[in-house]
Structure 1
Amino acid sequence: MMKALLILLLSIVSIIRADVQSINALKISPMGSVNGGLIIDGTDYRINFLGRSEVQGTTRRFDWPGIQIRLRISNTSFLDVLLQSAGFYEIIVDNQPINSIQMNSQDFTRIASNLDPNTWHNIEIYKKNEAELTSVRPYISLYILIPQVATLKSVRIADQGKFGRFISSKRRIEFVGDSITCGYGVIPPSVPCSGNGPNGAWESAFDNYVRMTATDLAADVTRVSWSGRGMVQNCCGLPPPVMPTLYNQTLGTDAKSKWNFKSWVPQAVVINLGTNDHNGNPAPSLDTFAAGYTQFIKDLRARYANVTVFTLCGGMVEGAFCDAVSKVSSANGAHYVNIPALTSNQMGCDGHPNTYGNRVMADLLVDLISKKMRWPILSRVGSHGPIEFIDRPMNDLPNGLISASSPADCQNRCFARSDCQVWAFDTCGTRCWLKSAASTGVPSICRASAPSLLAQEL
């Protein structure tokens, strides 16, 4: 009798424990119907979150640019999010950008509507601003930058809606940089923009070289970047911290938040720092700069054992500092990309690259990453239209065989000639064929081609 009673008591305890675990699970990931919608909290596993963030209760806090909130949904015609943030976000539905909005509501914001409920949809919410440009308030003649942290609280779809799994890429790249990597100045209201005060509407992490690189290589990317920061010294008298210090943080605005480097391990890291060191007040010595750069590469390899490091310099700065980056890269097994000086039509706000300037940067970087990582380029949109990795034989122009550095360079050369209707490029070499007419595309190794955008417009 006592044995039976003991077994009964143990069974009751097990049931209570199971119920408590179920309740705790619901607290971690609640799902309910509120105001006619199905809601999950901001930390739910069905939300694919790309980028550094801090979990606080059932919410997720973040501030770095380029953060992506990704969902896969069906059986619903809409998607709402409760996202407390003053920043700008690009909304992408099934790989198509549909809207750019500024989040400033304390209630749900409708992100997507008129969705076909009978099919699955991939939705991406892409953070376009760095923390310091999410809120800019004019005060007399000054502009006060107010760093802000965004908080994802919950997501809502229709009552009968379903959440699926958003598939992440197996290719992972991390970017470390300054305002160029943030996307500052990509969308200028006018040129020059100086004197109008910094504005989050001018900055777009979605329209810059980082996102272009991710698209071309079908890779997942994260970025740790902040305007004005340098490798060993910040720009223009800006006080510390410098980027290697900020790099250790989960939130750029919180020095106490420490990032867990094991939580997301990239195969490649791209460093784009040096412009602000060059513009320091005063600039550091080249030896100091090189020593700091070398140490940062060593620290990266200590955190990510098998990482491949790529470095960029140029565009807004030339000369000794870029030479130093090149030498440090060579000495430490990193792969260097020199960015040509920006031309007038490649500049946005305050001398920063616009979308065209960013496209030039992305083309150079994508080609190098593709070769060194042995990642085929799965898709590409050049400065003058799509690039397809097939051949288009015949119809060569007289003297139409020239040399080019990349598919994008070959495309640019075709676009510059009114008699060029189609181009083809040897991706295993430097040959570029300019053609007078289109032919049927055929699969071929070592080839990229496309009709000229100019020809399509005509």
Structure 2
Amino acid sequence: MYFEGRVSGTGVGIVLNDSAADYDVQIDGATVATLVTPGNTTHWINGLSNSTHTVRLVKRNDTPGDTSTFGGFVAAPGGAVLSKPAPRNRQIEFVGDSLTVGYGNLSTSRTCTSDQLKRNTNSDVSYGALTARQLNADYQINGYSGLGMVRNYNGGRTDVTYRTFYDRALLNVSGDVWQNPGTWRPQVVVVNLGTNDFSTAINPGEPWTPESLAAAYRSAYGDFIQKLRTRYGADTTIVAVGAGQYAGHVQQVVKARNDVGDSRVRYWFLDDSGLDFLGCDWHYSAHDDRLIADRLTSFIAGLPTGW
């Protein structure tokens, strides 16, 4: 999640109410402050040159159990908040789990405490954010750590999956539905779900066999692609990411869509060669996110998006 604005004058205030998440403040392209669980505050950046500045606020980590409130930018005395920047013509939506969030990607150790994980997660340098910026696209990262398409990490939270939350704006409010203002029409949606479904062994008491889990995953994935297709229309390219144990299943789902005439569903194999997995709990490091972003950017640039 990020917000961009323009101000004139020597300072800008960022109005926030959030006691759970961390934020970066960027002025004219440079990070000038990191706000750690800022609470209910107006954080001021002063001492700027008396001119026009771009300001960007970016939420660094996922805090799905809490509500984050951004109250806007305010100008220092003598300055003004200017008209909002023009939206970019390109839009990409990223759907995924902790790997898409950027879970622990700034960590210097794979072993992290809860606080270290929070401080060292930065979605702004996740592969999705980097890919979008390389393509000069506005983007959404719809990621939820630990959740899968039909099965969550280690079989946890059996009452919900990623799909439970996809429609929501406030993830912690049951029944909430995000209302698209009509301006969000991504030309590309990248889906990377499956790691949590398959990365841990099925525990005694879970309602799965390896075969039934795979079948349920493929069925739900197909339904989710249809949901995206209905939401965004025939011209949106849906990139289904395959990696590890779930790559073959994703390939099957994509082939089924292609076989019925939907050529704008594309399979992309996430090549993990060269990745060090040095983020918290063996997640992507910032180095890995850059490598993946470079590979994904090349793939998307070759798609028939009209870009």
Q: Under a length normalisation based on structure 1, what TM-score does the superposition of the two structures give? A: 0.59
Q: Alpha-carbon deviations, 1:377-411, whole Å to 9, x = none?
A: xxxxxxxxxxxxxxxxxxxxxxxxxxxxxxxxxxx
Note if contact 1:268-1:309 (Cα within 8 Å) is conserved in structure 2. yes
Note if contact 2:277-2:288 (Cα within 8 Å) is conserved in structure 1. yes
**Match for residue 61 of structure 2 among 129, 132, 135:** 129
Matched with 1:18 is none
The AA in structure 1 aligned to 2:294 is D
Verify: 1:312 aligned to 2:246, yes or no: no
Matched with 1:416 is none
Q: In the superposition, relative to structure 1, how do residues 168 and 70 fare at CA in structure 2: closer, same or farther (>3 Å)? A: same
Matched with 1:345 is 276
Verify: 1:197 aligned to 2:128, yes or no: no
Q: Structure 1 residue 375: deviation in Å?
A: 6.0
| Alignment partners' CA distance in 1, 2:137 and 2:71 | 27
Verify: 1:84 aligned to 2:13, yes or no: no
Matched with 1:102 is 36
Q: Structure 1 residue 286: deviation in Å?
A: 1.5
Matched with 2:260 is none
Q: Structure 1 residue 280: deviation in Å?
A: 5.2
The AA in structure 1 aligned to 2:172 is T
Q: In the superposition, relative to structure 1, how do residues 153 and 335 fare at CA in structure 2: closer, same or farther (>3 Å)? A: same
| Alignment partners' CA distance in 2, 1:303 and 1:260 | 12
Matched with 2:77 is 159
Q: Structure 1 residue 153: deviation in Å?
A: 3.0
**Match for residue 215 of structure 1 among 133, 155, 158:** 133
Q: Structure 1 residue 262: deviation in Å?
A: 5.5
The AA in structure 1 aligned to 2:137 is A
Note if contact 1:337-1:364 (Cα within 8 Å) is conserved in structure 2. no
Structure 1 ranges of 4+ moved more than 3 A: 341-346, 373-376
| Alignment partners' CA distance in 1, 2:165 and 2:213 | 22
Q: Give the 3-state SS of the residue equivalent to 2:145 in structure 1.
A: coil
**Match for residue 335 of structure 1 among 263, 266, 280:** 266
Q: Alpha-carbon deviations, 1:333-373, whole Å to 9, x = none?
A: 32122122365634211110101111121112111111114
Q: Structure 1 residue 222: deviation in Å?
A: 0.6
Matched with 1:324 is 249
| Alignment partners' CA distance in 1, 2:11 and 2:37 | 17
Matched with 2:224 is 296
| Alignment partners' CA distance in 2, 1:364 and 1:329 | 20
Note if contact 2:275-2:288 (Cα within 8 Å) is conserved in structure 1. no
Q: Which runs of structure 2 are paired with 1:260-279 in the superposition (5 Å)? A: 260-261=179-180, 263=182, 264-279=184-199
**Match for residue 361 of structure 1 among 292, 298, 301:** 292
Report how many aligned residue pairs link the two structures: 287
Q: Which runs of structure 2 are paired with 1:380-395 in the superposition (5 Å)? A: none
Q: Under a length normalisation based on structure 2, what TM-score does the superposition of the two structures give? A: 0.87
The AA in structure 2 aligned to 1:290 is R
The AA in structure 2 aligned to 1:161 is G
| Alignment partners' CA distance in 1, 2:255 and 2:27 | 42
Q: Give the 3-state SS of the residue equivalent to 1:206 in structure 2.
A: helix
Q: Give the 3-state SS of the residue equivalent to 1:131 in structure 2.
A: coil
Q: Alpha-carbon deviations, 1:37-70, whole Å to 9, x = none?
A: xxxxxxxxxxxxxxxxxxxxxxxxxxxxxx1121
Q: Structure 1 residue 298: deviation in Å?
A: 0.7
Larger Rg over CA atoms:
1
Q: Give the 3-state SS of the residue equivalent to 1:345 in structure 2.
A: coil
| Alignment partners' CA distance in 1, 2:135 and 2:147 | 28
Q: Alpha-carbon deviations, 1:77-103, whole Å to 9, x = none?
A: 111122011311122212223332214
The AA in structure 1 aligned to 2:249 is A
Q: Alpha-carbon deviations, 1:414-445, whole Å to 9, x = none?
A: xxxxxxxxxxxxxxxxxxxxxxxxxxxxxxxx
Matched with 1:247 is 166
| Alignment partners' CA distance in 2, 1:93 and 1:70 | 10
| Alignment partners' CA distance in 2, 1:349 and 1:359 | 16
The AA in structure 1 aligned to 2:163 is P
Q: In the superposition, relative to structure 1, how do residues 344 and 363 fare at CA in structure 2: closer, same or farther (>3 Å)? A: closer
Greater CA drift, 322-331 or 268-277: 322-331
Matched with 1:148 is 66
Q: Which runs of structure 2 are paired with 1:56-71 in the superposition (5 Å)? A: 67-71=1-5
Note if contact 1:235-1:281 (Cα within 8 Å) is conserved in structure 2. no
The AA in structure 2 aligned to 1:272 is N
Greater CA drift, 363-372 or 155-164: 155-164
| Alignment partners' CA distance in 2, 1:344 and 1:270 | 20
Indicate the percent of aligned positions where both proteins have the same amino acid: 26
